[in-house]
Amino acid sequence: MKALVLEKARQLTLRDIQVEEHLGADDVRIKVHTVGICGSDVHYYQHGAIGPFVVKQPMVLGHEASGTVIEVGKGVKHLKVGDRVCMEPGIPDSNSRATRLGMYNLDPAVRFWATPPVHGCLRETLVHPAMFVFKLPENVGFDEGALVEPLAVGVHAARKAQIKPGDVALVVGAGTIGIVTAMAATAGGCSKVIIADVVQEKLDLASSFGMISVNVTREDLNEIVKNVTDAWGVDVVFEASGSEAAVSKVFEPLCPGGRVVFIGMPTRPVPVDIVSAQVKEAHTETIFRYAHAYPRALLLIESGKVNVKPLVTDRYRFEDSIKAFEYAANPRPSSVKTVIEL
């Protein structure tokens, strides 16, 4: 079948590839429809590695996908041929200790699409465990289906934040993950969400969703937080930038007893002022991808509480996948999510 293959750093080809696709009793076969390009896909394309994960053999990219079921295994009950679906890209060992404890995203043996050496979903068809395939509601399209993957990160982060009705949140970073986190925080009960970034175009989009946007290149974030919260501080800070400067100051806008959720991944170890956390008895949480978040993300989209449609800013055909990656590596500032349609 045709697939978008990362041969090595900076070398992509759209070519035929042989992938083992045995359909087990609990699997479904899916014709892929829409795939979102993620920052991690672009990073593998440009650098051939993320931390300890190094591309050593040709690998199919992509992990944010929706499609249509074309074949079901004998044991599958909740899906049938023709169902429109989205797929959770991480497959854990179902008998592992982490999985049995409910933390399947932390299973050291998890096989996650387009994390070497596991092939991703930018190919015509794929086989996936039905347990990690979710039917799209009637009013949810393929674009939104592909966007469930990043939204799941926001849902997981909002859950870790233990939001209470009326909370005020700050999201640092207005990339795709920052924006979907702000959406999940709003849907989760926050009364106000402040979002900070350095790119005005991204902040303009955030403003259009009702968020209070702050351009930290020319505005004082702590002053604005003081104004919005009567000098108390925000109940929750979501760190979604991974920027060293932002991480080092992450406790400053927080209220006493508040909670910080670390989402962004700095590219190297960064110093953090522990005392600034201690004087507020700050709670800290971290997340790694997500677990049990797809059903909730889909319910939020179906109910209209979250609208991810405007996040799709750029669209390419499968034949133009290489162009899509060249673009995603160097997008216009207002670009949020580039999708490839098969």
> Which positions touch Zn ion (CB under 5 A)?
38
Between CA 63 and CA 120 the distance in angstroms is: 6
CB of 132 to Zn ion, least distance (A): 15
Q: Residues 145, 147, 151, CA angle at the centre, nearest 5°? A: 120
Phi and psi torsions of 132, nearest 5°: -110, 25
Positive/negative CA dihedral, 262, 264, 266, 267: positive
Name which of 38 and 260 has its Cβ closer to Zn ion: 38
Name which of 38 and 59 has its Cβ closer to Zn ion: 38
Name which of 147 and 190 has its Cβ closer to Zn ion: 147
Name which of 38 and 312 has its Cβ closer to Zn ion: 38
Name which of 154 and 233 has its Cβ closer to Zn ion: 154
Between CA 110 and CA 96 the distance in angstroms is: 9
CB of 64 to Zn ion, least distance (A): 5
Name which of 182 and 214 has its Cβ closer to Zn ion: 182
**Cβ(60)–Cβ(12) under 8 Å?**
no
Name which of 44 and 251 has its Cβ closer to Zn ion: 44
Q: Residue of minimal CB distance from Zn ion? A: 38
- Between helix 142-160 and helix 294-303 the angle, nearest 10°, is 120
CB of 63 to Zn ion, least distance (A): 6
CB of 40 to Zn ion, least distance (A): 6
CB of 136 to Zn ion, least distance (A): 18
Tokens standing for residue 239 = 């760190």
Phi and psi torsions of 89, nearest 5°: -80, -5
- Between helix 176-187 and helix 200-208 the angle, nearest 10°, is 20
CB of 115 to Zn ion, least distance (A): 11
**Cβ(89)–Cβ(113) under 8 Å?**
yes
Task: Return the SS3 of 137.
Answer: coil
**Cβ(86)–Cβ(143) under 8 Å?**
no
CB of 331 to Zn ion, least distance (A): 15
